[in-house]
Structure 1
């Protein structure tokens, strides 16, 4: 996000209405008051932003586009409340918490004073807590500890699909776009003797490495930096690409948004040449894009055909995340119909 063009000093005396007007105008407020009062002000700004009526949509695509526009505008508005930081990541405000560990994990060494949005800071704190406590993965029988900027495996249905599918072989598997390393760890725990997990994001590589070591699986899993496939062939190649073909608005959204289905198509295009004879490629993909009108099922099937692949089978599961049953969600109709599938693909 670019730096604001105009910044004013604000403290406990500013009203929520005045702050909201400034934020909507694009004027940022550098906070000099009590930290906890700043948190309350941010909540007040969020309530005002959420009261803004949304545009009426006539198609699922319009609903999605209007939803994304509203999200983007809300994010810009709430980003107008700035916090000052010292060079050691401490916050020079009354009642400010100790956030040095959270900021160090996300930013590294600062070396000089800086400012960041309060909204982002709260995200850093949340990410730090998740990293400390971990996310319980039932299929793994253990926890995965996501790092800041790496998508947390909170949607357990896709992990369960991989846990329940019969393995075509146990000598080798590739995990493409490993993220936290959860699927690589699951395959290793299921008895795959060697798993090569790839990613091209530095945070994901560090996160996966830490999780693999924490789980005691370093002897079975190799984490390497690669754009999709590692060298060679494998009898099992697993990929859980982003499922919505749209432009992400922040780095972490690359785990959800895949412009022009680039990663999905790249996986399909390279799969046949990296599969051993008789091997299987497991594509784990939500059909939410289909219900939003962003990518027809016919396109996916045509890409599979064009890449010299055949569908060996498919297993479906309905999502269990809260949004699937939240009727107030702008995309409720699509989310309620969503199905996540594990496509078993083979080379023709």
Structure 2
């Protein structure tokens, strides 16, 4: 991640400090100093007016202050709203909360050194996300916590039973913590396949599962350079570098394959940050473009495996009729479908504002083929 062109002027500093955010946060117009003497109420009043707080006190006190400010942000009432209205209200609150909490800031010195009392060593975690740092910079404290957490997840990895191994997700790359979609790929009957495409590969987990199942060669694409680097690392660690080719592309690589797999963002809504793009797909753009491009990239007799949750339907964001129309409109037909119920914690959390929809959610693997191709197995 390179330094942005945005500069934030900080009080009691000579000149300006660089602003840096891997998540796309924008610098505040005004910044004041803050330390252990500032109360949570005072901090909340300042950030509520859009003033950034450059923290100069104890690191652990900064964490407590951020939590206290978060508790003071008013939660949106969703009682009496339709499920669709509740979703949009929830998203607005998430966006407002993220903008407000991003105004608590810290300065890092060259080499990603955090000069606060009781501060952890964040040099490696920050280097993984931001790259080299030869000058001081300012970053939102909440983002820094995310960077630290992502570093720990990256070291620990996520166990993937279908691989008998761990996948290590980088910051900003969708982590396969919801294993049901991986299991669908691992358990759906697979014909003899010489070449498969994995569209939007992320960590490379689906490409790895396909390879371990016997696919001779997989070409995996992603539009994110960060995701490609992450997938390269995982593929190398799994000993699959000779069988999986990674290509940075918006969707498809060149050519045709016998099997094309895609797990697109599931919710047709506007992302509020760079990290949201793995979950939110405005107007189902990626989904529609994937379906539209499939006929040109499937070999005769080939199949596409589309992994999709019906949460969008349960939230009133996209109907099943619209999905089926997009499939048929692209010259495709459904030749089979496998379903699974999610087991992630939010599906059983009654305090979640979207609990009604999440508790009934179903994740499906849709098997698709060209309408003119009747050779596909059923």
Q: Same fold (TM over 0.5)?
A: yes
Quick one: distance in 2 between partners of 1:91 and 1:255? 30
Quick one: distance in 2 between partners of 1:16 and 1:61? 34
Match of 1:80 in 2: 103
SS at match of 2:198: strand
Q: Residues 113, 299 of structure 1: CA spacing in aligned structure 2 closer, same or farther, 3 A cutoff?
A: same
Match of 1:146 in 2: 169
TM-score, with length taken from structure 2: 0.90
CA contact (8 A) 1:168 1:235 kept: no
Number of aligned residue pairs: give it. 347
Match of 2:331 in 1: 308
Q: Cα RMSD over matched residues? A: 1.1
CA contact (8 A) 2:78 2:353 kept: no
Matches for 1:205-284 after TM superposition, within 5 Å: 205-284=228-307
Quick one: distance in 2 between partners of 1:145 and 1:214? 10
Match of 2:7 in 1: none
Quick one: distance in 2 between partners of 1:115 and 1:269? 43
CA contact (8 A) 1:168 1:236 kept: no
Match of 1:184 in 2: 207
Quick one: distance in 2 between partners of 1:167 and 1:57? 46
Quick one: distance in 2 between partners of 1:57 and 1:279? 47
The answer as to 2:51 corresponding to 1:27 is yes
Quick one: distance in 2 between partners of 1:312 and 1:147? 35
Specify which of 163, 166, 170 is matched with residue 189 of structure 2: 166
Match of 1:100 in 2: 123
Quick one: distance in 2 between partners of 1:56 and 1:335? 17
CA contact (8 A) 2:220 2:247 kept: yes
**Long gaps (5+) in structure 2:** 1-24, 372-378
Quick one: distance in 2 between partners of 1:261 and 1:315? 21
Match of 2:68 in 1: 44
1:170 is displaced (CA, Å) by 2.5
CA contact (8 A) 1:4 1:28 kept: yes
SS at match of 1:279: strand
Specify which of 92, 110, 125 is matched with residue 148 of structure 2: 125
Q: After TM superposition, where is structure 1 displaced by more than 6 Å over at least 4 residues in a row?
A: none
TM-score, with length taken from structure 1: 0.98
Quick one: distance in 2 between partners of 1:52 and 1:168? 50
Quick one: distance in 2 between partners of 1:304 and 1:92? 55
Quick one: distance in 1 between partners of 2:270 and 2:292? 21
